[in-house]
């Protein structure tokens, strides 16, 4: 079993990005800028946004966070997005999800200028991704693709099973892996709550991507010997022995699955750090005007 060290790869890529940012800064006279809108005070979302800010700093990018109360009106939120859309000094804009229930999330996503949509959630970017055109790829699938590439894990002709069909991870991951390019070309199965014989389907996977959002659901029964397992799950489990009061677990029952695997990502330190790299990479692309010329 080989552990996929997402943290190490993330640091390596961040160093490469930092070098490029430094060079571009000299040419352009400013740094790339990421803006994040955070609505409400969900502790996990606050941590994610703080980590995104920290990573921007590490690579020499600037960032700003627009904190809004949980009871903000949709109108006010859309106004703020419009304001940021028009700000030439801001290259990328994300609205941290989830947003409170009274807000129409799709409306929010569609109000972000696709040129600044570094989350890759806008239908224009999703459409371009599906057609294999240049676009901002959603950060988590993008991060996973980079991880597979850096570890030379071949996907061509492999059976890839993605469990979970969210718009943020499962669905875009299945599209990316099935694209016609040397870093994809997989035969992909996308599993969800109505999938029959889920255990057997997962067992057929050369590469199993767990993005279900259910703590430790993937046990040894779901994994064939020699498979590669990518765990996208991130669950806070109470742990009074820790200062934070919790520890993180994934969608995969690591202790029993890992002995079966050729490669596996841990939680934490696997996919999580790479998700931020995907976002930073997209912000750099936005700054360079690489996608929408």
Chosen residue from 55, 80, 96, 283 binding ligand GUN by CB under 6 A: 96
| Crossing angle of helices 6-28 and 43-58, rounded to 10° | 60
- Identify whether 106 is a catalytic site residue: no
Task: Determine contact, residues 292/122, Cβ cutoff 8 Å.
Answer: no
Counting contacts by CB under 6 A, is residue 227 touching ligand GUN? no
Task: Determine contact, residues 91/32, Cβ cutoff 8 Å.
Answer: yes
Chosen residue from 90, 94, 229, 264 binding ligand GUN by CB under 6 A: 94
Q: Tell the smallest beta-carbon distance from residue 44 to ligand GUN (Å).
A: 9
Q: Which of 5, 91, 117, 119 is catalytic?
A: 119
Which residues on adjacent β-strands are paired with residue 66? Answer: 37
**Which residues 110-149 are close enough to bind ligand GUN by CB under 6 A?**
119, 139-140
Q: Tell the smallest beta-carbon distance from residue 232 to ligand GUN (Å).
A: 10
Q: Tell the smallest beta-carbon distance from residue 137 to ligand GUN (Å).
A: 11
Q: Which of 14, 96, 116, 249 is catalytic?
A: 96
Chosen residue from 168, 173, 207, 271 binding ligand GUN by CB under 6 A: 168
Paired tokens of 10: 């993330």
Which residues on adjacent β-strands are paired with residue 207? Answer: 160, 228
**Among 284, 251, 277, CA closest to 266:** 251
**Residue among 59 and 168 whose Cβ is closer to ligand GUN:** 168
2-3, strands of its sheet edge to edge: 2-3, 263-264, 228-231, 207-210, 159-163, 187-191
Counting contacts by CB under 6 A, is residue 55 touching ligand GUN? no
DSSP letters, 57-114, are HHTT-EEEEEEE-TT--HHHHHHHHHHHHT-TT--EEEE-SPPPTTS-HHHHHHHS-G
User: How far is residue 90's CA from residue 32's CA, in Å, rounded to a whole number?
Assistant: 7
Q: Tell the smallest beta-carbon distance from residue 94 to ligand GUN (Å).
A: 4
Piece of the chain touching ligand GUN by CB under 6 A; list 94-102, 181-189, 251-259, 280-288: 94-102
- Nearest residue to ligand GUN, by Cβ distance, number only: 97
- Identify whether 91 is a catalytic site residue: no
**Residue among 205 and 281 whose Cβ is closer to ligand GUN:** 281
User: How far is residue 256's CA from residue 98's CA, in Å, rounded to a whole number?
Assistant: 32
Q: Which residue's structure tokens are 């991880």?
A: 147
Q: Tell the smallest beta-carbon distance from residue 96 to ligand GUN (Å).
A: 5
- Identify whether 52 is a catalytic site residue: yes
**Which residues 1-30 are close enough to bind ligand GUN by CB under 6 A?**
none
Q: Tell the smallest beta-carbon distance from residue 97 to ligand GUN (Å).
A: 4
| Residues within the interface to ligand GUN (CB under 6 A) | 94-97, 119, 139-140, 168
Which positions are catalytic? 52, 96, 119
């Amino acid at each position: 079993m080989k552990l996929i060290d997402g943290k190490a790869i993330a640091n390596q890529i961040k160093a490469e990005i930092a070098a490029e940012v430094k060079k571009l800064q000299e040419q352009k006279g400013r740094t790339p800028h990421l803006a994040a809108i955070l609505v409400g005070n969900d502790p996990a979302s606050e941590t994610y946004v703080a980590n995104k800010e920290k990573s921007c700093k590490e690579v020499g990018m600037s960032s700003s966070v627009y904190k809004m109360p949980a009871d903000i009106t949709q109108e006010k939120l859309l106004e703020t997005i419009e304001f940021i859309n028009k700000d030439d000094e801001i290259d990328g804009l994300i609205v941290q999800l989830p947003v409170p229930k009274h807000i129409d999330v799709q409306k929010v996503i569609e109000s972000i200028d696709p040129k600044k949509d570094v989350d890759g959630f806008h239908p224009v970017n999703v459409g371009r991704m599906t057609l294999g055109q240049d676009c901002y790829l959603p950060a988590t699938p993008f991060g996973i693709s980079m991880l597979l590439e850096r570890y030379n894990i071949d996907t061509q002709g492999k059976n890839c099973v993605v469990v979970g069909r969210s718009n943020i991870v499962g669905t875009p991951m299945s599209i990316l892996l099935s694209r016609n390019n040397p870093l994809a070309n997989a035969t992909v199965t996308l599993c969800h709550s109505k999938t029959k014989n889920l255990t057997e389907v997962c067992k057929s996977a050369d590469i199993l991507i767990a993005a279900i959002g259910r703590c430790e659901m993937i046990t040894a029964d779901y994994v064939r010997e020699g498979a590669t397992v990518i765990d996208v799950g991130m669950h806070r489990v109470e742990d009074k022995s820790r200062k934070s009061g919790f520890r993180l677990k994934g969608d995969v029952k690591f202790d029993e699955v890992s002995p079966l695997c050729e490669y596996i990502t841990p939680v934490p330190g696997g996919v999580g750090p790479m998700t931020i790299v995907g976002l930073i990479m997209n912000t750099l692309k936005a700054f360079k005007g690489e996608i929408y010329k």
